Structure 1
């Protein structure tokens, strides 16, 4: 029996901008990043989503609101 993984997720950064506040871990500046993700099955796009993620510029931790 052979199982082949045929799904793929592609993420790319659309834009970055400065966000308000400071990092609770190190006190660094926070950056808001808009990321587009696209799921594909056999090279055919299935799902397309845009997400906003927050990162610290010093310690590079992903922050959850």
Structure 2
């Protein structure tokens, strides 16, 4: 007998908008992205979470707000 657990995470971009201030690395424009994460176990959705992530549009680095 074999048990197989199928877990999956999907991330989807909901929206983008410009954020104030320049990138500290290259001086480019910073974008705020709203990302929705879905965790599924055997095709049953278990967990939904929406996060805001910041990225530079020039150097494509992920920026962390402290």
Which 5+ residue runs of structure 2 have no aligned equivalent? none
What SS does the aligned partner of 1:11 have? strand
SS at match of 1:33: strand
Task: Note the C-alpha offset of 1:56.
Answer: 0.2
TM-score by length of 2: 0.92
Question: Paired residue for 2:30?
Answer: 30
Figure out how many residues of one structure are paired with residues of the other and give that number.
Answer: 65
Q: Distance in 2 between matches of 1:13 and 1:41?
A: 21
CA RMSD, Structure 1 to Structure 2 (Å):
1.5
Render the CA deviation track for 1:3-56: whole Å, top value 9, x for unaligned. Answer: 745100000000000000000000000000000000000000000000000000
The CA distance in 2 between the partners of 1:3 and 1:29, in whole Å, is: 48
Residue 55 of structure 1 corresponds to 55
Please tell me whether the aligned partners of residues 7 and 40 of structure 2 are also in contact (alpha carbons under 8 angstroms): yes
TM-score if structure 1 supplies the norm length? 0.93
